[in-house]
Structure 1
Amino acid sequence: MKELSSLEKNFDEAHGGLTQYAALEEANRCLFCYDAPCIKACPTSINVPSFIKKIASGNLKGSAQVILDSNPVGASCARVCPTEELCEGACVLNHAEKPIKIGDLQRHATDWARENEVTLFEAAPSNGKKVAIIGSGPAGLSAARELCRLGYAVTIYEAEAEAGGLNQYGIVSFRLPQHIVQWEVEQVKKLGVEIKTNHRVGDNISVDELVNNYDRILIAVGMNTVPNLEIEGETLNGVYDAIDFVKSTKNVITRNFVGKSIAVIGAGNTAIDAATCSIRLGATQVQIIYRRTANEMTAYPFEYDFAKQEGVEFRWLSLPKRIIGDDEGNVIGLECVRMELGEEVEGKAKLHEIKESNFIIQVDAVIRAIGQTRHIELIEQFGLEHKRGIVEVDQETLQTSNPKVFACGDVIYGNGYGDATVVSAAQQGKDCAYAIHRQFESISEIA
């Protein structure tokens, strides 16, 4: 039990917030630029100088209001946004000294609002229109919040037992604690949004029911499961889907990884999460196996640095060929082949296997983290145009091939709109809400 308690503690939030004194000191470093590049760098266009100035003057409620007015999931984004590449990366102080710790200041203000249980927003009077949202992740929650502020009755349908989507289940607890996500969910519910959990469209409620009972529908589902590696040994005991693996740590901290050697296949942000989770579950060796080099990995640089600090090892230019099991069906090894980069085709180097370069790594478990599949079945139930599960939308309105249905977030990622970040999903949710409202206004359907 003592060991288990230690493992549980490993999943406490890794980065502590600023003290009141530190926040004031940091806020007073800001130059409060008139034409602030940090605002332009934020996908949700948070007025960064304004919220920082309010912290400097002791107005934390006003600061939180500025943040959350632009970004309904601003408390989560304060923890998981790639600020080094966005607002902080654009800070003018990068040219002279260290940039302002915008993410930490954002967390300071939103934490104050959460801890003091303040009410920041109210729903507008009803306009008589109803919108159904499928998915309660950052895109769905943001859309719901904005629609309520425009007078719509909103119902969210969520397949899981808890609302929050990616933020609730897909991001490790030591980066984003669940109580932060649940606070953001509660802020949306307080506006009158009904969230029906354990409701999977196609099972608990049909597409026809949604189409017939709501004026507009917004699809804001995220990604699906991790695809198979399509190699021998994937059915052995000890082979995990990275998404399911991270999700499992939200409920039960297992001792199964203590003292074990783990291989994580892939080099994106989910692979980093799976690897760092494994370390915190007591694994003595964790290796990320990636067929390309560090230059091609999709994980953010700060995620890569964090993983190295945690003790994760990286094997570049290595391609898994076979998972090896013992007589009882348990994983005992991973056979790989070394790769080399060849000529470039359309800006990307081709990969070639090096002959007779196979090698075996002794491991006790293998975690697949090679991207995620799409919710094609759901998309096709609505009869929407898509490309391999990426819903086709109008780039300006986010309207699908069905005029009554809109889409945002990961379900449209890959068609040139936005990127796969929480903050981008939040902005798309807002964009969808405004597009739905404009559509009703243009056809004079709102009395």
Structure 2
Amino acid sequence: MGDIADIAAGRLSADELSQNFKDMYPPLDPRQAGIEASRCYFCFDAPCMEACPTGIDIPNFIRKIQTENYRGSAIDILTENIMGGACARVCPTEILCEEACVRTTQESKPVTIGKLQRFATDWLMETGEQPFERAASTGKKIAVIGAGPAGLSAAHRLSMLGHDVVVFEAKEKAGGLNEYGIAAYKVPNDFAQEEVNFILSLGGIEIKYGQALGKDISLAGLKAEYDAVFFGGGLGAVRSLGLDDENVSGVYNAVDFIAQLRQSSTKTDVPIGRKVVVIGGGNTAIDMAVQAKRLGAEEVTLVYRRGPDAMSATHHEQEYAQINGVTIRHYAKPSRILSSDGVVTGMEFEYTEIGNDGKLNGTGETFTLQANMVFKAIGQVFVADPVTEEAACLEVQDGRIVVNDDKATSISGIYAGGDCILGGEDLTVAAVQDGKLAAHAIDKYLSA
């Protein structure tokens, strides 16, 4: 990051950083899990199940926790969502299963489904058991591009169905956003890699690292060599602010910084500025802002162009940032980067308002914030070039891959899922479901 005034590593002691980046929420112990499970009504037509993108039988897994059948509970979860451990930690349950919980309407306190899911899946993973088995070998070989949630979910289910899978991953580790893109306090203690190892322990899955599509491998090449291909490469680029001097020292992409932070075991080697500005309104912006504060930044301000209801980060996430010392300012958009001698010194913002036509307009009034680090978290975009090569050109619409309900692309034998597809929900749990559905569709395709 270079030597920039007011940016330094180790602003806090190792003990303080360790405390700041420990588990976001302490796990339930067996007694707590039993008490919480007893709050479930075990609804016959459970609305929480309808709200779960992967269709986990929530009342059933909770009932098994209540009867201390932890193994059975975990298998119920993992059968539908093989990354149930990560999803229990990062899934926005407050707007999915827990929001739909009948308890919510009665006493404004849903059953903490996410914590119960974590309890069961953690219990099983700690035993070291791999509860799933592979079917008899089909002799078929499938290529999976990307070792993120969608790719790993597809690979695991395809292996269970008896196929051999080779996963091509551009980075040095598997896990995708679970490894590189989520706040360290949400998935601490190398859990992401533990979950990857659990998935791979099924067998029949090989991961080749340092294999980037469009550089080391091609879609057409994989299509020719393998019986089917699944693309789960996610989003590969970050949106630009479109301002002058955007590349001055001190202006960073939040996703890149979070990835660096996640790979640091102690956090003592991660530099942070005294005054930090984060631009954006999604989970990445919240994660970046909270982690900047926890690294020792004195002032952290998150600025979003619209109001709180328009932020893609949930109200729960917004509140969490605020109670962690982050100031959130709404209705302001970046208008100018302030710098001196090639180093950022602050940001100028223009106040915004919603017009009668519903469009966002600038008011002409501005304000400035001092900053020695500015983080862009205004969304990511899909890099379509590697999947639109002449020899294997997938249909792309609105910057995403077009798929049908089976996650099949416009080319027979090639499937896709996760953030890269049109209509994708940009959620880990949704990516896992895409991979699972695609795996069954691929199995059907190969059996035809």
Bin for the TM-score computed over the shorter chain: over 0.9
Give the whole-Å Cα distance in 1 for the aligned partners of 2:99 and 2:304: 28
Give the whole-Å Cα distance in 1 for the aligned partners of 2:201 and 2:184: 25
Paired residue secondary structure (2:380): coil
Paired residue secondary structure (1:409): coil
Deviations along 1:96-133, whole A, 9 cap, x unmatched?
A: 22211111110011111121212211111111111100
- 1:192-207 map, 5 Å: 192=203, 193-207=205-219
Name the counterpart of 1:257: 272
Residues 255, 216 of structure 1: alpha-carbon distance in 2 compared, 3 angstrom cutoff: closer
Identify the range of structure 1 (381-390 vs 209-218) with the bigger mean alpha-carbon deviation. Answer: 381-390
Paired residue secondary structure (1:295): helix
Find out whether 1:176 has 2:182 as its counterpart: no
Find out whether 1:60 has 2:66 as its counterpart: no
Give the whole-Å Cα distance in 1 for the aligned partners of 2:15 and 2:354: 45
Name the counterpart of 2:239: 227
- More contact order relative to length (CA 8 Å, sep ≥ 6): 2
- 1:9-20 map, 5 Å: 9-20=19-30
Name the counterpart of 2:437: 431
Instruction: Give the C-alpha shift of residue 154 in structure 1.
Output: 0.7
Paired residue secondary structure (2:190): helix
- 1:82-231 map, 5 Å: 82-97=92-107, 98-177=109-188, 179-192=190-203, 193-231=205-243
Find out whether 1:422 has 2:419 as its counterpart: no
Which amino acid letter does the alignment assign opposite residue 404 of structure 1? G
Name the counterpart of 2:36: 26
Instruction: Give the C-alpha shift of residue 375 in structure 1.
Output: 2.1
Give the whole-Å Cα distance in 1 for the aligned partners of 2:361 and 2:39: 51
Give the alignment partner of residue 367 of structure 2, picking from 359, 370, 385: 359
Give the whole-Å Cα distance in 2 for the aligned partners of 1:8 and 1:160: 26
Give the alignment partner of residue 407 of structure 1, picking from 410, 416, 441: 416
Instruction: Give the C-alpha shift of residue 9 in structure 1.
Output: 3.5
Give the whole-Å Cα distance in 2 for the aligned partners of 1:13 and 1:247: 18
Deviations along 1:238-266, whole A, 9 cap, x unmatched?
A: 100011011010123245325x1111111
Which amino acid letter does the alignment assign opposite residue 380 of structure 1? T
Which amino acid letter does the alignment assign opposite residue 284 of structure 1? E
Instruction: Give the C-alpha shift of residue 376 in structure 1.
Output: 1.2
Name the counterpart of 2:349: 336
Find out whether 1:368 has 2:379 as its counterpart: no
Instruction: Give the C-alpha shift of residue 221 in structure 1.
Output: 0.9
Name the counterpart of 2:401: 391
Identify the range of structure 1 (292-301 vs 128-137) with the bigger mean alpha-carbon deviation. Answer: 292-301
Name the counterpart of 1:75: 85
Q: Is the Cα contact below 8 Å between 1:272 and 1:304 reproduced in 2?
A: yes
Deviations along 1:281-334, whole A, 9 cap, x unmatched?
A: 11111111111111211112221111111111111111111111123x221111
Give the whole-Å Cα distance in 1 for the aligned partners of 2:292 and 2:373: 10
Instruction: State TM-score, norm by structure 1.
Output: 0.93
Give the alignment partner of residue 274 of structure 1, picking from 282, 288, 291: 288
Residues 132, 255 of structure 1: alpha-carbon distance in 2 compared, 3 angstrom cutoff: closer
Deviations along 1:156-195, whole A, 9 cap, x unmatched?
A: 1110100000111010110112622212211221222111
Which amino acid letter does the alignment assign opposite residue 289 of structure 2? A
Give the whole-Å Cα distance in 1 for the aligned partners of 2:39 and 2:330: 41
**Runs of at least 5 residues in structure 1 that lack an aligned partner in the other structure:** none
Give the whole-Å Cα distance in 2 for the aligned partners of 1:316 and 1:96: 33
Give the whole-Å Cα distance in 2 for the aligned partners of 1:10 and 1:305: 17
Paired residue secondary structure (1:358): strand
Instruction: Give the C-alpha shift of residue 352 in structure 1.
Output: 1.9
Aligned length: 431
Name the counterpart of 1:284: 298
Residues 358, 433 of structure 1: alpha-carbon distance in 2 compared, 3 angstrom cutoff: same
Paired residue secondary structure (2:95): coil
Give the whole-Å Cα distance in 2 for the aligned partners of 1:255 and 1:282: 10
Q: Is the Cα contact below 8 Å between 1:261 and 1:364 reproduced in 2?
A: yes
Instruction: Give the C-alpha shift of residue 5 in structure 1.
Output: 4.2
Q: Is the Cα contact below 8 Å between 2:237 and 2:383 reproduced in 1?
A: no
Which amino acid letter does the alignment assign opposite residue 76 of structure 2? V
Name the counterpart of 2:5: none
**Runs of at least 5 residues in structure 2 that lack an aligned partner in the other structure:** 1-9
Give the whole-Å Cα distance in 2 for the aligned partners of 1:275 and 1:313: 9
